[in-house]
Chain A
Amino acid sequence: DVKVTQSSRYLVKRTGEKVFLECVQDMDHENMFWYRQDPGLGLRLIYFSYDVKMKEKGDIPEGYSVSREKKERFSLILESASTNQTSMYLCASSPTRTGYEQFFGPGTRLTVL
C-alpha cells in the first residue's frame, strides 16, 4: 500500500513565524504535490515537483515555497505565516507524470494566530 505521511496532524503558529510542513512517501513516486483545502473552494494546488530539486508553481504559490532534496520527501514552507494561510494542507504523490491517480496524506490542519 502506498503511504503518504505528513509530519503533523495539527499545528498552531503565530503570524510572522516560518513554518515547515513535511511530507514523505514510501513508494518511490516521482511526482509530489502540495494542496490547500478550504470549505467551498475544494483543493487548490500550491506547488508540485516531478523530480528531485525540481519544483513548479501551482495555482496559488504566493506566500509559499517548497523544497525537494530527496525523492521521497517534499516540504512546504511558509516564509512568514499569515492568518489567511490558516487551512488544511494536503500532500500527495503519484507515480506517473500524466496519471490521474494521486495518493494523499491525511493532511495537516494549520492555524495561524
Chain B
Amino acid sequence: QQQVKQSPQSLIVQKGGISIINCAYENTAFDYFPWYQQFPGKGPALLIAIRPDVSEKKEGRFTISFNKSAKQFSLHIMDSQPGDSATYFCAPTGFQKLVFGTGTRLLVSP
C-alpha cells in the first residue's frame, strides 16, 4: 500500500548547498508530519515535525514546508554539512501509527 511516496531516492549536495527532500501522501487523516534522520548503524531519530494547521516550521538549518491542498510536505536543509549525510524518512502519523516513506540517502560532499 503506497500511502507515502518520498523522493528523491538519493541526493548528493555540496557543502553549503540546500538539500530538498519531498514527501507526498494520500491519507487525509494524517495528523502530524515528521521527518526522521538515520545514521549508519543507528535507529531513526526524530528530526523535526509539523502540524497540518501550519504551513512552515523552522528549527535551525532544518525547515518543513507543508502544502495541505497538494498533500505534500518537504524537508529543506540549508547550508548542508557533511555531518548531515544520513538517510531521511518522512513518516506521517495517523491512527496511532507512523507510515514511513522509502527513505532518501543524502550525501553532502566536503
Contact = CB atoms under 8 A, between A and B. Distances in A.
Interface of A: 4, 35, 40-45, 48, 50, 58-59, 90, 92, 97-107
B7 interface: no
Contact residue range for chain B? 20 to 34
A4 B43 CA distance: 10
A104 to B, nearest CB: 3
Given A42-B6, A58-B97, A107-B42, 5 more contacts: A40-B9, A42-B4, A45-B97, A59-B1, A90-B44
B46 interface: yes
B97 A97 contact: no
Majority-rule SS of A interface residues: loop
Interface in B1-25: 1, 4, 6, 9
B49 A100 contact: yes
Given A42-B102, A43-B89, A102 B46 contact: yes
Contacts of B45: 103-104
B43 A90 contact: yes
A84 to B, nearest CB: 19
Interface of B: 1, 4, 6, 9, 31-32, 34, 41-46, 49, 89, 91, 93, 96-98, 100-103
7 contacts: A43-B89, A92-B43, A98-B31, A100-B32, A100-B98, A107-B41, A107-B43
A30 B100 CA distance: 21
B99 to A, nearest CB: 8
Contacts of B49: 100-101
Contacts of B32: 99-100
Contact of A106 (B31, B42, B89, B103): B42
